[in-house]
Amino acid sequence: MPRRLHEDVTSPVAAPLSAPVETERTDWHIPAMLALALGGFGIGTTEFVTMGLLPDIASTMNVSEPTAGHAVSAYALGVVVGAPLITALCARVPRKRLLVVLMVAFTIGNVATVIAPTFDTLVLARFLAGLPHGAYFGVASLAAATLAPTGQRARAVAAVMLGLSAANVVGVPGATWLGQHLGWRAAFVIVAVIGLATVAALLRFVPELTGIRTTNPMTELGALRRSQVLLTLLVGAIGFGGMFAVYTYIATTLTDVSGLRAGLVPVVLMLFGLGMVTGNIIGGVLADRGVDLSIFAALAAMVVILAGFVAAAHNSYTAAFGAFLIGASGAALAPGLQTRLMDVAADAQTLAAALNHAALNIANAAGAWLGGLVIAAGLGYTAPAAVGAGLAVLGVLLFTCTVWTARRGRFGADSGAAGGVEPLLVGPHRAQPSRDFGRDVSAGVDLRRQEVAVEDR
């Protein structure tokens, strides 16, 4: 039976260096990882299936399709509001219990969507369904990192995110098909069932996460005072906007620019989802080798791929392949960002990880808005890809400044002011230095400073 981690350490210098060190973890807690990923699958399905069912929702609720789009916006707003609010207020709640409560709330929100009698109540239900989104991924990512083998934290985080990526391959197309044939409410019935299944799986397979120390609301909110947390969130909000600038208008781009038959658009969307799954896996592997390097690589790939899509969109085959690459490059960015946020947040890791998903929803809205602006200006449906490439360039420049600030603070200014702080340890593998000059650069951990701090004590 896999051994659980019970270490509760508040900083890299919380115990003398001569203290006994727990044996390194070498096994994967696969049932728990699958349970955590199942929740991500359900969340990913409910987030994106609404977009494919907007015409059906508009027809049933007797509203225009643009008005029906408010249901999508309401969910995104729920994510942005719920991520910091729930994480801060529930800081003292044991992590496993919080995961279960969040999935119960998620299920209730989707049941409310199914039974919503009017459009206004539907919008409210979508807002409620979005509230647990960011907090769930924040806690689940930290839980996965706790249960991961030594040196494989980012891959564990990617495993949780894999559920979100897989939703775009299986969950969203399946639920959309069901909603189109049995009514849009049927799609959310399936999501509610997935939510219930996740609750059961979490209770059965996830161990008590005693390796994660509960904090308090003020401690969690302290993440917002750390420059590295805020800068990394901004990188996600800007860099990810490029992918969403293209994805929002991909269907019309494929039919009007690439000349693809409308019936084949779902196939390309599935390729996009497969790209997300592939990129998520690659991103996790790269982030375990170097978090900052993986983020730079993903952003640079997005610049090249999005710029290339301006030309590739004019052919159906190259457009389909380009959609796969866009999904892959975007998803490859997520594990590195999530891991870096947990590292630089010190003892406010849950809030930082949760805010990542709030930032991604801001990227979703911003990318769609900017893409719509250039289309409305008459620049055509390839223009969003050019806008996306520009956003990715901004992401590269901003992340360069972020890393420079972290390294400058590490060698000079006080760590709290600089934002490059020691991470909250959740297992012996957290103390392992990366291959970057013997230090975990992304966490801002200076090994020599740890020794000095212990000596000072």
Q: Which of 102, 103, 107 is nearest to 86 (CA)?
A: 102
Q: Which two tokens stand for residue 345?
A: 């947040």
Count CA atoms closer than 13 A to 399's CA, side-chain side.
30
Dihedral angle sign, alpha carbons of residues 105, 106, 109, 111: negative
Assigned superfamily of 27-214: MFS general substrate transporter like domains (1.20.1250.20)
What is the average pLDDT across 172-179? 83
**Alpha carbons 392 and 338: distance in angstroms, whole number:** 18
Q: What is the pLDDT of residues 328-366, one digit of tens each?
A: 998 899 888 888 887 787 776 777 777 887 888 788 778
**Alpha carbons 233 and 223: distance in angstroms, whole number:** 11
The whole-chain average pLDDT of the chain stands at 78
Cβ atoms within 10 A of the Cβ of 109, count?
Answer: 26
pLDDT at 214: 62
Q: What is the pLDDT of residues 83-105, one digit of tens each?
A: 888 888 887 888 899 999 999 99
The domain segmentation of the chain, as residue ranges, is: 27-214, 225-449
Bridge partners of 439?
436
Maximum C-alpha span of the chain: 70
pTM: 0.70
Is the pLDDT reported for residue 78 higher than 60?
A: yes
pLDDT at 426: 40
Q: What is the pLDDT of residues 29-60, one digit of tens each?
A: 788 989 999 999 999 899 888 877 877 888 89
Q: For residue 333, give the amino acid letter.
A: L
Q: Which two tokens stand for residue 149?
A: 């083998």
Domains 27-214 and 225-449 are alike in CATH topology: yes
**Alpha carbons 347 and 283: distance in angstroms, whole number:** 25
Question: Which one is predicted more confidently, 134 or 393?
Answer: 393
pLDDT at 423: 39
Cβ atoms within 10 A of the Cβ of 381, count?
Answer: 21
End-to-end CA distance of the chain: 39
Q: Which fold has domain 225-449?
A: Growth Hormone; Chain: A; (1.20.1250)
Instruction: List, as one string, the DSSP characters of 179-212.
Output: HHHH-HHHHHHHHHHHHHHHHHHHHHHPPP-TTS
pLDDT at 268: 84
Q: Which of 148-152, 163-167, 323-327 has the highest mean pLDDT?
A: 323-327
pLDDT at 1: 44
Residue appearing with tokens 């085959």: 317
pLDDT band at residue 157 using 50, 70 and 90 as cut-offs: confident
Q: Which of 163, 129, 344 is nearest to 236 (CA)?
A: 344
pLDDT at 301: 94
Is the pLDDT reported for residue 191 higher than 90?
A: yes
163 neighbors 37 (Cβ within 8 angstroms): yes
CA distances from 308 to 312, 316, 378 (A): 6, 14, 20
pLDDT band at residue 457 using 50, 70 and 90 as cut-offs: very low
Q: Which of 363, 373, 173 is nearest to 268 (CA)?
A: 173
